[in-house]
């Protein structure tokens, strides 16, 4: 048996998002978001579930903080719901919405836990969507105003800020594939949305620096490790396109201020072009203090004419699968972060999400013996350690998620928590994976 130890200053944390956990969707003046509209539209979400109540963290946040404290984490990543701060997206600030986050932030700090805040985890105010949403550049200005209010309200208390969560999901998944709110299926629209979100990110970073807010700011991209099935040039090219869809399309503008030309050319053949205005690329590539990476999976692809957007078909090579049907590819985490480090340099990296969905059973002792999820974490922790040992500047790891919660189109049937949520009583029950992580943190490492 070997022993692996993490650096003393490694940041262990867990992550959640406002719409997925808060509930209280009409409490204290919160406006509606595109996810309220989408989930209230019959047929969009499994079982027609919605986030009206979710985990009721709006009222149970003290219990959540106690769970975090007992877990021993240094940091907690959560998001602020824009429609709680600006119910109509712009205009009057809703102080009661800010007060909720003041309670959460103060509670975390009192418990010795660093708050890490995501500004945009998908709950765009519906009033802004009604005016075109992220397709309309006015939404960029509205976002920057919202960011300003929040930066100032928490000046100094929040040391880590993430502008956007998974711009790929905000753009392509939500506006081309149509699986997430607002549910459009237009490639040009998706390309516009991706671009405008990245400009909004850059503008928020600029403002953060101008205001002299203490702390660090970055963004989170969801990276995926897609490998070619064979060394045949057409397979290599097809897999490269599929990978760039998630990775390079977002990482290259963020770090280099350019879009990957081969993808620009490819999108052009599909009738979509990037709506770049003068100055945009400089804005997007503002220096950031860290990059957040959400990593869940990867796979193998090969060329197949007219398959999907990229003439690429995925080949199943026998990975174990989670209950989301995602490949368990821990080695992919090592590969993708090694690649990102080599390609984009020494910016500190945080894994801002990683975790797994499995079918959980609450045992009679109120425990969940989630052996597979625990194993998933163990495998990924080992890869994190390999990365650190290899000189990749990986500074922290946030497990997705603290709690079972509203898993977007899957509603409540897909559980990712290290704590089990009873959706009738809102009781929380730590699972075995929670105790596993607690021990890794307490011991500073693990036997492998």
Residue 222 is a binding residue for ligand GCO (CB under 6 A): yes
Q: What angle do CA 356, 361, 366 make, to 5 degrees?
A: 110
In what helix (H) or strand (E) does residue 420 lie, and over which residues does it extend?
A: strand 419-421
In what helix (H) or strand (E) does residue 233 lie, and over which residues does it extend?
A: helix 233-246
CB atoms within 10 A of CB 23: 22
> Which C-beta is closer to ligand GCO: that of 75 or that of 272?
75
Residue 49 is a binding residue for ligand GCO (CB under 6 A): no
Residue 356 is a binding residue for ligand GCO (CB under 6 A): no
CB atoms within 10 A of CB 352: 29
Q: Which window, 41-49, 161-169, 262-270, 315-323, contacts ligand GCO (CB under 6 A)? A: 161-169
Q: Which window, 65-73, 163-171, 245-253, 273-281, contacts ligand GCO (CB under 6 A)? A: 163-171
**Block residue for tokens 């990037």:** 274
Please, what is the minimum distance in Å from the beta carbon of residue 172 to ligand GCO?
Answer: 13
Site string for ligand GCO, 310-349 (x = CB under 6 A): ----------------------------------------
307 is annotated as an active-site residue: no
Out of 165, 192, 247, 286, point to the residue binding ligand GCO (CB under 6 A): 165
Q: Is 189 exposed, middle or buried (0-12, 13-18, 19+ CB in 10 A)?
A: buried
Please, what is the minimum distance in Å from the beta carbon of residue 14 to ligand GCO?
Answer: 12
What residues pair up with 430 in beta bridges, in sequence order? Answer: 419
Residue 223 is a binding residue for ligand GCO (CB under 6 A): no
Question: According to CB under 6 A, which residues from 243 to 302 bind ligand GCO?
Answer: 294
Site string for ligand GCO, 82-121 (x = CB under 6 A): ----------------------------------------
Q: Is 372 exposed, middle or buried (0-12, 13-18, 19+ CB in 10 A)?
A: middle
CB 126 within 8 A of CB 39: no
Residue 39 is a binding residue for ligand GCO (CB under 6 A): no
How would you label 171-187 residue by residue, b for 16+ Cβ within 10 Å and e otherwise? bbbbbbbbebbbbbeeb
Residue 167 is a binding residue for ligand GCO (CB under 6 A): no
Q: Largest alpha-carbon pair distance within the chain?
A: 62
Q: What string of DSSP letters covers 102-134?
A: HHHHHHHHHTT-EEEEEEESS--BHHHHTTTGG
> Which C-beta is closer to ligand GCO: that of 354 or that of 374?
354
> Which C-beta is closer to ligand GCO: that of 165 or that of 167?
165
Site size with ligand GCO, rule: CB under 6 A: 11
What residues pair up with 103 in beta bridges, in sequence order? Answer: none
Please, what is the minimum distance in Å from the beta carbon of residue 398 to ligand GCO?
Answer: 11
> Which C-beta is closer to ligand GCO: that of 39 or that of 283?
39
Out of 25, 208, 310, 416, point to the residue binding ligand GCO (CB under 6 A): 416
Question: According to CB under 6 A, which residues from 372 to 401 bind ligand GCO?
Answer: 400
φ/ψ (deg, to 5) at 387: -60, -45
Catalytic hit among 216, 353, 364, 427:
353
> Which C-beta is closer to ligand GCO: that of 60 or that of 399?
399
> Which C-beta is closer to ligand GCO: that of 14 or that of 20?
20
Q: What would you report as the CA-atom Rg of the chain, rounded to the nearest whole angstrom?
A: 21
CA dihedral 106, 107, 111, 113 (to 10 degrees): -70
Compute the distance between CA of residue 132 and CA of residue 29 in angstroms, rounded to an integer: 23
> Which C-beta is closer to ligand GCO: that of 175 or that of 222?
222
> Which C-beta is closer to ligand GCO: that of 47 or that of 269?
47
CB atoms within 10 A of CB 358: 21
Out of 89, 407, 420, 436, point to the residue binding ligand GCO (CB under 6 A): 407
φ/ψ (deg, to 5) at 323: -70, -10
Instruction: Give me the residues that bind ligand GCO (CB under 6 A), please.
Output: 17, 20, 165-166, 169, 222, 294, 353, 400, 407, 416
Residues with a catalytic annotation lie at 353
């Amino acid at each position: 048996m070997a022993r692996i130890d993490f650096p003393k200053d490694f940041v262990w944390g867990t992550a959640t998002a406002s719409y997925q956990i808060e509930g209280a969707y009409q409490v204290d003046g919160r406006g509606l978001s595109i996810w309220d509209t989408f989930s209230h539209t019959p047929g969009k979400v499994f079982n027609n579930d919605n986030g009206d109540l979710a985990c009721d963290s709006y009222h149970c946040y003290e219990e959540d903080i106690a769970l975090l404290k007992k877990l021993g984490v240094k940091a907690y990543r959560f998001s602020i719901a824009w429609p709680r701060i600006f119910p109509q997206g712009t205009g009057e600030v809703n102080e009661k919405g800010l007060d909720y986050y003041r309670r959460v932030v103060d509670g975390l700090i009192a418990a010795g836990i660093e708050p890490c805040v995501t500004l945009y985890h998908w709950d765009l105010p519906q009033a802004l969507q009604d005016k075109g949403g992220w397709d309309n550049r006015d939404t960029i200005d509205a976002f920057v105003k919202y960011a300003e209010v929040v930066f100032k309200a928490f000046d100094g208390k929040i040391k880590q800020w993430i502008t956007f969560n998974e711009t790929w999901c905000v753009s392509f998944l939500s506006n081309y594939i149509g699986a997430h709110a607002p549910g459009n299926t237009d490639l040009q629209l998706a390309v516009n949305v991706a671009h405008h979100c990245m400009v909004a990110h850059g503008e928020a970073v600029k403002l953060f620096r101008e205001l002299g807010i203490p702390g660090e700011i970055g963004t989170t991209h969801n990276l995926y490790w897609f490998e070619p099935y064979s060394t045949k040039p057409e397979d290599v090219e097809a897999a490269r396109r599929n990978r760039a869809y998630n990775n390079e399309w977002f990482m290259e503008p963020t770090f280099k201020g350019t879009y990957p030309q081969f993808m620009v050319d490819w999108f052009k053949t599909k009738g979509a072009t990037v709506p770049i205005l003068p100055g945009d690329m400089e804005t997007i590539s503002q220096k950031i203090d860290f990059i957040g990476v959400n990593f869940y999976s990867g796979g193998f692809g090969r060329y197949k004419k007219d398959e999907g957007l990229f003439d690429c078909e995925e080949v199943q090579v026998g990975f174990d699968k989670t209950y989301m049907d995602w490949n368990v590819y821990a080695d992919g985490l090592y590969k993708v972060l090694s690649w990102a480090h080599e390609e984009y340099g020494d910016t500190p990296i945080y894994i801002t999400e990683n975790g797994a969905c499995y079918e959980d059973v609450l045992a009679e002792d109120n425990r969940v013996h989630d052996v597979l999820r625990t194993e998933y974490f163990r495998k990924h922790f080992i890869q994190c350690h390999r990365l650190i040992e290899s000189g990749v500047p990986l500074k922290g790891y946030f497990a997705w998620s603290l709690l079972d919660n509203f898993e977007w189109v899957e509603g409540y049937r897909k559980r990712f928590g290290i704590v089990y949520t009873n959706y009738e009583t809102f009781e929380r029950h730590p699972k075995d994976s929670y105790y596993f992580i607690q021990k890794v943190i307490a011991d500073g490492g693990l036997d492998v």
